[in-house]
Amino acid sequence: MKQEEAAPVVQPKRLRPHPLDVLLLGAPIAILAKLFNWGDLTLFFASGLAIVPLARYIGMATEELAGHVGSAAGGLLNATFGNATELIISYFALRAGHFELVKASLIGSILGNVLAVLGLSFLLGGWRREQQRFNTVAARAGGSQLALAAGALLVPAVLAATAPIKEVAVYHLSMATALVLLAAYAAGLMFSLRTHAHLFTEEQETEIHGRRWSVRRSVLVLLISTLVVAVLSELLVEGVKGVTSQLGWSEVFVGVILVALLGNAAEHASAVTAAQRDDMDLALSIAVGSATQIALFVAPVLVVLGALIGRPIDLLFSTFEVAGVAIGVALVNLVINDGESNWLEGVQLLAIYAILGAAFFVYP
């Protein structure tokens, strides 16, 4: 009688080195800069660069862990920890009283995702291709959700610019807006994880298939990376005053460009890599989805956190910040409306991001 062949044993893959891992050298440099007073500039840039690969490990560990706990719990994990790095940095900045830096980083994260990340994805993904296609229905739905989420953040600024409203009223409006956005975020999770989960089954199965790490490894990597990011974030915020005083850069510019890029760099790389593989649906999901999550989850959580730690922060953005978000959201909806992209559209999005970046640089 012929013996049955044993099922092949799938060995878990090791943590392979990544080009971004070299930036981890910034962690000991940042600690030494703190201990031996090497200056705030060294403290800021060393800790900021070290956060980039750690943010990648947080994302990887979250995805791996999500594959072990089922689609619903996994989706909740991804939704909650998807922007953990930005939340940690913003928390320490908020605790230190850098309110403008926190607000600017929120604006910068939205603009960075919809203009820089999407633009770079279109450019590099379409460079050797005549055009790339993606799911029009999903793209339009994501664009609409982004427009609604970003629009809600702009309501306090529009009200303050058009009517004489007291500061305490702006804060109360911001708190009410934050609670509504969190409720809307929870409703979106229920839609995608429960009532209409069948629409996302294929995507979830693809993510869960071929898990590489055990639960223990995933939790360990997640905890260690998060703890180190917390330490480095505190050093990063401590070094902000050196950047603003020695280089003359405003907190708004530091938040919109530097902090936003450092906190999202690993996620940005994933979107661009997906575009180069011609997986534009994934690239769009990462870029637009992350921007939407900033508006629906990160910003409201920071308002609530500020109230809890005695550092109240509102959602009153400057007129120029409001204009920047409006331009970015309008443009991204315009270019994704037809379900096709090419490298020239990527250049156009990057050009607008560069112009806005230059404007924020000279912003007083």
Alpha-carbon dihedral 257, 53, 219, 102, rounded to 10 degrees: -10
pLDDT cut 90: percent of the chain above it: 45
Rounded mean pLDDT of the chain? Answer: 85
- In tens, the pLDDT along 190-234 reads 876 777 666 554 444 444 444 578 888 888 998 999 999 999 999
Structure-block tokens of residue 192: 């995608």
Would you state the pLDDT for residue 316?
Answer: 92
Structure-block tokens of residue 175: 């708190």
Task: Please tell me which residue, 9 or 251, carries the higher pLDDT value.
Answer: 251
Helix or strand (DSSP H, E) at 132? strand 132-133
Q: Is the pLDDT of residue 155 over 80?
A: yes
Residues contacting 348, CB < 8 A, separation 6+? 119, 331, 335
Is 130 within the bounds of a domain?
yes
Is 14 within the bounds of a domain?
no
Task: Please tell me which residue, 6 or 343, carries the higher pLDDT value.
Answer: 343
Is 9 within the bounds of a domain?
no
Residue with tokens 């058009």: 162
Is 343 within the bounds of a domain?
yes
Measured CA angle at 102 (ends 51, 271), to 5 deg: 50
Structure-block tokens of residue 319: 């007129």
Q: Is the pLDDT of residue 115 over 90?
A: yes
What is the per-residue DSSP string for 286-312?
HHHHHHHHIIIIIHHHHHHHHHHTT--
Chain center to CA of 289: 9
What CATH number is associated with residue 111?
1.20.1420.30
Q: Is the pLDDT of residue 346 over 60?
A: yes
First to last CA, the chain: 84
CA within 13 Å, CB half, 354: 8
pLDDT (average), residues 151-159: 87
The percent of the chain in helix, strand and coil, each rounded to the nearest 5, is 80, 0, 20
pLDDT (average), residues 93-113: 93
* Rounded distance between C-alpha atoms, residue 93 and residue 47, angstroms: 14
Would you state the pLDDT for residue 143?
Answer: 86
Closest CA to 110 of 302, 261, 315: 261
Measured CA angle at 137 (ends 133, 139), to 5 deg: 65
Would you state the pLDDT for residue 50?
Answer: 93
- In tens, the pLDDT along 326-341 reads 999 999 999 988 889 9
Would you state the pLDDT for residue 230?
Answer: 92
Would you state the pLDDT for residue 108?
Answer: 93
Is 11 within the bounds of a domain?
no
Q: Is the pLDDT of residue 111 over 90?
A: yes
Helix or strand (DSSP H, E) at 42? helix 40-66
Q: Is the pLDDT of residue 60 over 60?
A: yes
Confidence band for 128, pLDDT divided at 50, 70 and 90: confident
What is the per-residue DSSP string for 310-344?
T--------HHHHHHHHHHHHHHHHHHTTSEE-HH
Domain of 93 in residue numbering reads as 20-362
Closest CA to 181 of 320, 303, 288, 318: 303
Is 270 within the bounds of a domain?
yes
Would you state the pLDDT for residue 95?
Answer: 93
- In tens, the pLDDT along 237-294 reads 999 988 888 888 999 999 999 998 888 777 778 888 889 989 888 888 888 888 888 9
Closest CA to 226 of 86, 26, 23: 86
- Judge whether 295 and 110 are in contact, CB under 8 Å: yes
Is 31 within the bounds of a domain?
yes
Q: Is the pLDDT of residue 150 over 90?
A: no
Would you state the pLDDT for residue 102?
Answer: 94
pLDDT (average), residues 288-307: 91
Amino acid at 140: R
Is 162 within the bounds of a domain?
yes
Would you state the pLDDT for residue 265?
Answer: 77
- Among 36-50, 64-78, 302-316, 335-349, the minimum mean pLDDT is found in 64-78
Number of domains in the chain: 1
- Judge whether 250 and 99 are in contact, CB under 8 Å: no
Would you state the pLDDT for residue 4?
Answer: 46
- In tens, the pLDDT along 305-314 reads 999 999 999 9
pLDDT (average), residues 98-119: 92
Say what the pTM is.
0.86
